[in-house]
């Protein structure tokens, strides 16, 4: 099926086709592509008529991997400190995009889990396909404006901001991923001890991070500061690894500042 959003590379913006609904992945493309010019450099590879079609997650993963390589090369080649700092900042920006993708995905799933009370309306073309529901563009547009009021764009063609505005939007969004203080390696190891990993294993894998944990990192560490983590995203990832919701809820009894955010994100798991 043809995607409901297509990248217009010459115009540098997204345009709507004649469809009136979109998949969850395309909904997140709308929420992210309209605000971040960096994603578009990969859209030339995003050919929906070929076998090489890249999902949005794959695009973001490729961007982060490229940034990771650039940063590692800068250190190996002993480039200037300014270059290393710039490449580290780019890596962190790409990791922030991955984190935001997961946030949007959780928000959309949580809204759809409300059933008849959901603001997001399921299109008739996918009423019997609960695995891959299509949401109507009108309801997506209304829902996005209510849930992300700092952004004034529309799926129906509002003006796209210039580069300065997009960078400003990215800064706002990174700072609003969570207003709560992210946790250090030691705090995460203590909170999630014996859930998938032992305390010692958490300390090890938070230092040499596997891909499934990268999405949960708020800021990369360096020699003087520890990396920091979003515990709600770690809990969501652990739920996918068959850790029970009861055990995960118990974590946030001890992390009271994060309890409301976990309640919001975990809504989809409780249906």
Q: Who wins on pLDDT, 51 or 104?
A: 104
Q: What percent of the chain has pLDDT over 70?
A: 71
> Which residues are registered as beta bridge partners of 219?
228
Question: For residue 234, what are its two tokens?
Answer: 């770690």
The whole-angstrom separation of Cα 95 and Cα 64 is: 6
User: How many C-beta atoms lie closer than 10 Å to residue 191's C-beta?
Assistant: 20
The whole-angstrom separation of Cα 159 and Cα 152 is: 9
Predicted confidence (pLDDT) at residue 170 exceeds the cutoff of 70: no
Nearest 10 degrees: Cα torsion 126, 128, 132, 138: 30
Residue with tokens 């309801």: 139
Predicted confidence (pLDDT) at residue 97 exceeds the cutoff of 90: no
Predicted TM-score (pTM) of this structure? 0.52
Q: What are the helix (H) ranges across 16-119?
A: 24-33, 56-76, 81-112
Q: Once rounded to an integer, what is the mean pLDDT over residues 53-76?
A: 83
Q: Of 100, 17, 120, 12, which Cα lies nearest the Cα of 56? A: 100
């Amino acid at each position: 099926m043809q995607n409901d959003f297509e990248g217009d590379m010459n115009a540098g913006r997204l345009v709507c086709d004649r469809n009136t609904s979109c998949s969850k992945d395309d909904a997140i493309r709308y929420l992210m592509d309209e605000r971040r010019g960096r994603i578009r450099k990969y859209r030339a590879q995003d050919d929906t008529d070929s076998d090489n079609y890249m999902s949005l997650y794959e695009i973001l993963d490729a961007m982060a991997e490229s940034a990771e390589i650039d940063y590692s090369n800068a250190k190996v080649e002993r480039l200037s400190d300014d270059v290393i700092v710039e490449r580290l900042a780019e890596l962190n920006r790409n990791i922030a995009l991955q984190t935001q993708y997961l946030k949007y995905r959780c928000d959309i799933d949580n809204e759809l889990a409300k059933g008849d009370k959901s603001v997001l309306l399921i299109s008739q073309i996918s009423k019997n396909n609960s695995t891959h529901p299509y949401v109507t563009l009108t309801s997506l547009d209304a829902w996005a404006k209510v849930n992300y009021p700092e952004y004034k764009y529309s799926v129906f063609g509002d003006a796209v901001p210039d580069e300065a505005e997009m960078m400003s939007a990215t800064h706002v969004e990174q700072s609003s991923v969570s207003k709560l203080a992210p946790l250090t390696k030691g705090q995460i190891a203590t909170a999630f001890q014996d859930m998938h990993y032992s305390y010692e294993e958490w300390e090890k894998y938070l230092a040499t991070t596997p891909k499934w944990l990268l999405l949960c990192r708020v800021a990369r560490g360096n020699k003087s500061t520890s990396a920091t983590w979003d515990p709600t995203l770690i809990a969501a990832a652990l739920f996918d690894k068959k850790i029970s919701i009861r055990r995960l809820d118990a974590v946030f009894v001890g992390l009271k500042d994060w309890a409301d955010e976990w309640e919001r994100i975990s809504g989809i798991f409780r249906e």
